Every structure is written in structure tokens, then in C-alpha cells.
Amino acid sequence: MRRALGMDYDEFERSPVAFDYEAMMAAHGYSFEDIVTIQAAGGVGGTPLLELRNLTDLVRSYSEPGFGARIFVKDEAANMAGSFKDRRASVSIHVAKEKGYAGVIAATSGNYGAAVASQAARAGLGCIICQEAFDSRHVGQPEIIEKSRICEAFGAEVVQMTVGPELFSYMLELLDETGYFSASLYSSFGVSGIETLGAEIAGEMLERTGAFPTAVVITHAGGGNTTGTARGLKRAGATSTQIVSASVDLSGLHMASDADFNRKSFTTGHTGFGVPFATWPDRADVPRNAARSLRYMDRYLTVTQGEVFYVTEAMCKLEGLERGPSGNTAMTAALSLARDLPRDATVVVQETEYTGAGKHHWAQLNFAREQGVEVRAGDPRESKPGTSIVIPEKPEQIRATDFDLAHMRRSYVRNALSHAGEGYVPTTDDVEFLAEDTNSTPVEVEAILAALKEA
């Protein structure tokens, strides 16, 4: 494993709870400027920042007088393989090439596979992508089938599997067999690569509007997108910009369930990844996850599947932007957020992704109907993940819901303690680490610890 990651994580550990996060992030030795250069050579970054004037006016048409923030989007679909994941892949592939590995492996059913495959093709490296693609009937989620296709189009070997977390142990076997580099989504290489996105947004907004954005909305799953973007914004000086993560609400569906697998219309950017990864990031395929979203989140908003499909259609018809699905999750939350902000505020949705056969919202809704999920128009609050998708009848019905961050912080601290081992007593240093890692204070962490002790 150490060979496949190209770095030793042990040196950052401070205790069974704490580790030196910033030292781990810096250990790869590439400066921010190095990463910009690597990405430029890889055809990655420098994507257009678009102001969405029609969507802004739509929101203003039903906001209270004086409200309705300006909405912008960073068109990350313009990257080589069609998403911000190219930023993440470009650094890992550069490292693999520089260190002399013959190829790279990643376990992902998402756009990251396409990004790794595309960058590996440019670098002349072998590439294996492991995907959870089918249920036990061999029915494939159409979005994932499209990801299989695009990875194979870029010359990757795609290992398609049925539902189950054992995919990760098979990936480890393949790393052993091939000696390839582990292009983990959660390495510091990958997450550092996203910092350029946050920095570009900060700089471009300052130039376009004279100020840093009021809020940046980030589709959240494993946490890398939130972490990297927030770090990039802060690096560029946008320290007061609100970091808003957003996920599709898939509560009630089990992510390892064969039956639930094809009853969800979103394969990522949903609470099924977003909540467990935020509350225990070190569940990932690296010893310490570089993606630590709770460190950076100011708010976590959830939206329903039907709302995102409505907004996807609205983006096509009002803005000439056929994108999605994942970035449109943040767009949906942004419409809700912009409604509650004054007109001189700005909200930036920090990514789009390519769409097409399988990924398209019509494809997903047709597939949902075939799987027995009810699709109807009405109040999206009435939807039930896996059973019904309720598409709003009017834009006023788009209302994101705040997920309780205090609850997530408690879960995180409980998870950190349980992984430290039975009877472990956190030190002052641990408390400080937990406060940093949950974007809270030592006093708040002490209160959580005291409550856990009582329970």
C-alpha cells in the first residue's frame, strides 16, 4: 500500500486521534504554482466563469423586494474529460509519471474515472478503473454505464462489478499485481489539485465584481470538492466567503444494498456519501483522508432529486447550459440560497460537468420509472428517495434544507473516539485537533466529549 501511494502516512500521526493535516498536505512537495503549471500542461483548469443573468432574474421574480443574489457558475465541464475531477486526476497522474510507475488504478464509478483515464492516456500510462456498475440482475445505472464507456473510450481497462464494498479489496489486489500507483480520490495529490479551482473563483470574482463571492456552493460527496475548493478560496484571500456544501437527499437508501442500487437517480453528490464521509473521513482508501469537509463547511444544504431535475431543465432553457447531473445539485441549493440573500450579494456554483446519454436528466427519469419509482409533479417535500421523485410545478417550491452541522460534529467526534480504541482519553492536543477538524472550538469539543461520556 505504501508503495502504491508513494508516501508514508505514519510520520504525520500525533496520537490515536490527531495527525498533522497541513504537514500531510504539504508532503508531496508541489507548490500551488507547480500545480497550476502541471494542470495547464494537462489541459486542465482556466474554465469560464459565467454569470447566469436569466436564472438570477427568475429568482428575483419571486424573492422579497431587495433580495435575489447574483448567480455565477464555473463551467468545469470545459475541462479535458468534462468535469472538475480533471484537476484532481492531473496531479496524481503527474506524480505517477514522475516517480516512474507504469500505470494508475482508481476505484470510482464517477467522473473521476474519466479524468484519470484521460490524463493517463496523455501521459502514456496504463489505467485500471474499478466501478460498482450493476445490480445482481446485471442492470446498470445508466449514468455509470456512460462512465464505463468514457473510461474505455480513453483506453482504460474498466473492471465492472456488482454492488458491494469488496471492490476496494479487489483494487488492492490489483495494485499488488500490477505495481501501479494508487490514484486515490482522497490523496493529498488529488485534493491539492482542486485548490486551483477555489483560487480561480476568488480571483475572477474579485476582477468581475470587485469583491470575493458572498457564498460558494459545492456539491458534496466524499468531501474532496468542498475541501479543495475551500482551501483554494482561503489561499487566495477569500476568507470570509461562506462555504456551502450541498447534496441530494437520499436518506433511507442503503448504499451497499443491491435492491436500492438502481432506485436512486444520483450516483454521487448525495447524502449517502456526503454524511458518512463528513462524519468519518478516514473511511477512505488511504490511511488519512486529505478530504476533510467538516473542517471547511459553514452550511450543509440538502435538496431533493426532483428539484435538481427541474433546475437542470431550467439551466438548459434559460441559460443554454446543458450540464449535469452532479454540479446541478449545488445549482439547486444556490437558487434557494440566492433567494434569501440581498441583490448585491453573489453566489458561485463552483462546477458543472458534462452530460449526455445515460447522465441526462431525461435518461435518469426514464430509468427511475422503469425501476418502479413514481415520478410526478407536485411539492418536492413529498418525495421519498427510492419510492418517489416529485418534480416542482414552480420555482418557488425549490427550498434547500439545512442539515444540522452540530449533529455532524458530534458524530465525527464519536467516530474519532471509537477508532482511537476502548478507554482512550483524548489529550489537549487531541481536543485542538478535533476542533480544527470540525470547524468548531476546543470548548465545543469538550462539551461533546462530556456529553458522550455521560451517554
Binding site for another protein (CB under 8 A): 54, 57-58, 60-61, 103, 126-128, 133-134, 136, 138, 140, 142, 145-146, 148-149, 152, 155-166, 170, 177-178, 254, 256-259, 309-310, 313-314, 316-318, 357-358, 360-363, 365-367, 375-377, 391, 394-395
Taking the complex as a whole, how short is the minimal distance between the CB of residue 270 and another protein, in angstroms? 17
Q: Which is nearer to another protein, 73 or 297 (CB)?
A: 73
- Eight-class DSSP state of 378: S
Taking the complex as a whole, how short is the minimal distance between the CB of residue 407 and another protein, in angstroms? 23
Please say whether the beta carbons of 405 and 293 come within 8 A: no
Residue with cell 458524530: 411
Q: Which is nearer to another protein, 56 or 350 (CB)?
A: 56
Q: Which is nearer to another protein, 99 or 394 (CB)?
A: 394
Q: Which is nearer to another protein, 21 or 112 (CB)?
A: 112
Q: Which is nearer to another protein, 230 or 347 (CB)?
A: 347
Please say whether the beta carbons of 189 and 104 come within 8 A: no
Please say whether the beta carbons of 114 and 66 come within 8 A: no
Q: How far is CA 303 from the centre of its chain?
A: 15
Taking the complex as a whole, how short is the minimal distance between the CB of residue 439 and another protein, in angstroms? 30
Taking the complex as a whole, how short is the minimal distance between the CB of residue 182 and another protein, in angstroms? 15
Please say whether the beta carbons of 412 and 278 come within 8 A: yes
Q: Is 187 exposed, middle or buried (0-12, 13-18, 19+ CB in 10 A)?
A: buried
Distance CA 403, CA 359 (A): 27
Q: Which is nearer to another protein, 30 or 134 (CB)?
A: 134
Radius of gyration of the chain (CA): 21
Taking the complex as a whole, how short is the minimal distance between the CB of residue 162 and another protein, in angstroms? 5
* CB contact burial 19-57 (16+ within 10 A = b; e otherwise): bebeebbeebebeeeebbebbeebebbebebbbbeebbe
Distance CA 63, CA 48 (A): 28
Taking the complex as a whole, how short is the minimal distance between the CB of residue 47 and another protein, in angstroms? 25
Taking the complex as a whole, how short is the minimal distance between the CB of residue 339 and another protein, in angstroms? 14
Taking the complex as a whole, how short is the minimal distance between the CB of residue 51 and another protein, in angstroms? 15
Max CA separation in the chain (angstroms): 63
Measured N-to-C along each axis, helices 326-339 and 53-62 cross at an angle, to the nearest 10 degrees, of: 40
Distance CA 202, CA 277 (A): 26
Taking the complex as a whole, how short is the minimal distance between the CB of residue 214 and another protein, in angstroms? 20
Q: Which is nearer to another protein, 133 or 330 (CB)?
A: 133
Q: Which is nearer to another protein, 162 or 209 (CB)?
A: 162
- Long-range Cβ contacts of 425-434 (<8 Å, 24+ apart): 426/17, 427/15, 427/18, 429/14, 429/15, 429/18, 430/15, 430/17, 430/18, 432/18, 433/14, 433/17, 433/18, 433/19, 434/17, 434/18
* CB contact burial 226-245 (16+ within 10 A = b; e otherwise): bbbbbbbbbebebeebbbbb
Taking the complex as a whole, how short is the minimal distance between the CB of residue 236 and another protein, in angstroms? 33
Q: Which is nearer to another protein, 198 or 324 (CB)?
A: 324
Identity (one letter) of the amino acid at 250? L
Q: Which is nearer to another protein, 199 or 345 (CB)?
A: 345
